[in-house]
Structure 1
């Protein structure tokens, strides 16, 4: 992926992480750390790009955050 192709979904991902962290803090919960953003993308749009893995891991993190907040 090119840098410009990453900006929109990355900004959205960062916003979602921040929103869930604020909700958790308001509920007195500590969430596990979100997945780290990749630092090794070559920018060639590879099949199985590190960004694909990141967004998959982020999806699981968001599901865990939602479940944690529903359990309170």
Structure 2
């Protein structure tokens, strides 16, 4: 089981939920996932807050997979 990398808010929420469900089924706890940005202006800025969120979500995913024993 390897949840795929999140590419936006909805896919991140789905990925977080899937991995948290697997953790609960194994009796494990994961740290809280990163919060979604609230300051995006929607202009596609270089260095958009969503890029940082995607990086943080990927770090969280990798850490969760290690805790779950998938990697």
Q: Is the 8 A contact 2:8 2:50 kept in 1?
A: no
Runs (4+) off by over 6 Å: none
Secondary structure of the 1:51 match is helix
State the TM-score, normalized to the length of structure 1. 0.83
Structure (1 or 2) with the larger CA radius of gyration: 1
Match of 1:9 in 2: 8
Match of 2:22 in 1: 23
Structure 1: 5+ residue runs without aligned partners? 1-7
Return the offset for 1:12.
1.2
Structure with greater proportional helix content: 1
Return the offset for 1:10.
1.7
Report the number of matched residues: 64
Equivalence map 1:15-54=2 (5 Å): 15-54=14-53
